[in-house]
A and B are shown apart, each in its own frame.
Chain A
Amino acid sequence: MIATIPVTPARAMSLIGRGVFIELLRRKDAYVLLVLVGLHALAVLTVSIVGVQNPATGTFLLNLGLTLTHFASHLLVMLLAVRQIPAEIDGRTLYPLLAKPIERRTFLLGKWSACTACGAGALLLMVVLVWVPAPKLEAYSLGLLAQALALQTVSLGLVAAVSLLLSLLVPRGVALVAVCLTVFLGDKVASLSAAQAADSPFERPLRWLLAYVPDFSKLDLFTRLTDGIAPLSVAAFTGLAAWGALCTAAALALSAHLFERRAL
């Protein structure tokens, strides 16, 4: 008999997460996004060498790079998270995995944490790629940069949780489109539809529904950073981080509830 040790949820999550990292490293989508950001960095570097005189141009280039970073890291997490469970079910790789002594919610949390960590790692790498070559003719708050990075990470965690949840409810293509719309256009679609429905019988149910759709734009401080606005107060920052964490926990709890009751 081979000696074994108890498998703690943390150990199980790290083992499952390792699988996601290996997948990310051996598939092409992450490299496509990285090459895109790299090309931007190269262009900015070229412009910087030629020389930028106007501070507004420098700020524009930095804002463009950070926005690209925001899109690329969020898209990466969506692509990664939305396929995790459907691919395991379709590929029948889930059976030998769940035949091991782990709970389904541990499996789900392992996938979520790995997707979030992959996104956060990619975000950090891309921010460095964008920040370093950018001409900085204006002063930017490093405190706000730290806040922005922290909230971006919270946002990536929320994206991963929502993607996993939707992938359990609808086909993965539909889930991907729905998460994309929610993350990138959610605030605009919400305010537009609320304005359209004003004074109509749909106003109340629509407002009720929109209250459950997380507003990801609240967690994006990159434009605030490049606009030179002061960092958030501790209370405002903590409030936003807590709101993001709460939404993530709710999405994960619902995913775990659905996944544990699912016949495989």
Chain B
Amino acid sequence: MPANVIEVQDLAVEYGRGKRRFRAVDGVTFRVAEGECVGFIGANGAGKSSTMKAIMGFLFPAAGHVRVFGEDAGTARSRQRIGYLPEVALYYPFMKARELLELYGGLSGLTRVSLRKRIPEILDRVGLAGRAESLLRDFSKGMQQRLGIAQALIADPEALILDELSSGLDPIGRHDLRDVLMELRRRGRTIFFSSHELTEVESLCDRVIIIHGGKIVTQATVAELMRPLSEIEISFVTGNGSSLPASLTALRPHVADGHGTLIVDSPTRCAEAILALSGAGCQVRRTSTRVRSLEDHFIELVGATRRAP
């Protein structure tokens, strides 16, 4: 069984004091195992960044504990093997890209010799080749984000914690980033990231954790989350004067001008519905499987939580 890289147990994070005290994260528990790619999703203000900051030791838990590679969060040893991309990546405007990466690489333990080789390599990897000597004040938001990814990857860490990783990136940037993460996954790196791009989460992750209102709503593998979401749509033409049996009207078919569609949630029900339609004189034209996206599931889950009293 792979070792845990991140262990979060009953974590609570609070802001403010006295009457203004507000609990942003409340009793969050999860683990990220070695080699896993885990997506952490939630609406704005759900508690994602607060949880990530607690993992990095920037915020102190009001309750619970966080361990990284078996060390208490916040210690230098716990950050030894981690690359971190903050939610908003801003870097010293007076520095050049090379100087910035020398700073972060040096602090990660890279020698001057290895930095000389690594910096052009990593800048090329994130699409900033030839910008080593440019001042960061001239970098766009997307370029700053690419540089942020470069600084997180500079020492080729064993685990990556990426907060809002595709923020500010254009579609090409997102595509490049997906390639980088795919390669890291293939090399067995542990990745824990938050993103509002749910298609990205869906395509990259082994597992998804959904947080809302500071509490975890669900955590499951992508396959587990998607399984109950498969739907089969049956298109049919109604026979002259035929009426649908009660077993089908319960499925709320949509019928207009002699053409109808109905949706069932499993192949067995699909077979039953086709038999019933044929029995009622209808002609089945087509069946198609509709797989609902993670986004549909997320909106449904979070929406239900919002509506709950």
Contact = CB atoms under 8 A, between A and B. Distances in A.
Nearest to B77: A101
Interface in A5-49: 5-7, 11-12, 15-16, 18-19, 22-23, 26-27
Interface size range of chain A in the complex: 20 to 34
A98 B148 contact: no
B109 interface: yes
B108 A7 contact: yes
A12 B107 CA distance: 6
A6 B59 contact: no
Contacts of A96: 84-86, 89, 91, 104, 148, 151-152
Contact of A264 (B53, B99, B108): B53
Interface string B39-64: 00000000000000100111110000
B79 interface: yes
A93 B58 contact: no
Contacts of A264: 53, 58-59
B222 to A, nearest CB: 27
Contacts of A23: 92, 94
Nearest to B82: A99
B109 A95 contact: no
A3 to B, nearest CB: 7
A88 to B, nearest CB: 9
Given A96-B151, A102-B76, A264-B59, A91 B94 contact: no
Contact of A100 (B94, B95, B104, B156): B104
A128 B21 CA distance: 56
B114 interface: yes
A53 interface: no
Contacts of A91: 90, 92
A103 B152 CA distance: 18
B155 interface: yes
A102 B80 CA distance: 9
Interface in B200-224: none
A22 B118 contact: no
A48 to B, nearest CB: 38
B104 A101 contact: no
Given A92-B90, A101-B80, A4 B95 contact: no
B260 interface: no
B105 to A, nearest CB: 9
B120 interface: no
B84 A101 contact: no
A139 interface: no
A211 interface: no
B58 A95 contact: yes
A11 B102 CA distance: 12
B142 interface: no
B94 A2 contact: no
Nearest to B137: A26
Interface residues of B, number: 39
Contacts of B91: 93, 96
A149 B111 CA distance: 36
B80 A22 contact: no
B282 to A, nearest CB: 61
Contacts of A12: 107
Interface in A92-144: 92-93, 95-103
Contacts of B85: 96
A15 B106 contact: yes
A96 B110 CA distance: 16
B103 A19 contact: yes
Contacts of B57: 98
A15 B77 contact: no
A100 B92 contact: no
A1 B156 CA distance: 6
Interface in B124-141: none
Given A26-B94, A264-B58, A101 B53 contact: no
B280 to A, nearest CB: 64
Nearest to B57: A98
Contacts of A15: 102-103, 106-107
Interface in A57-73: none
B88 interface: yes
A236 interface: no
Contact of B107 (A1, A2, A95, A100): A100
Interface of B: 53, 56-60, 76-77, 79-80, 82-86, 88-92, 94-95, 99, 102-104, 106-111, 114, 118, 148, 151-152, 155-156
Given A15-B107, A19-B95, A264-B53, 7 more contacts: A2-B155, A4-B108, A18-B103, A22-B99, A27-B94, A99-B82, A101-B79
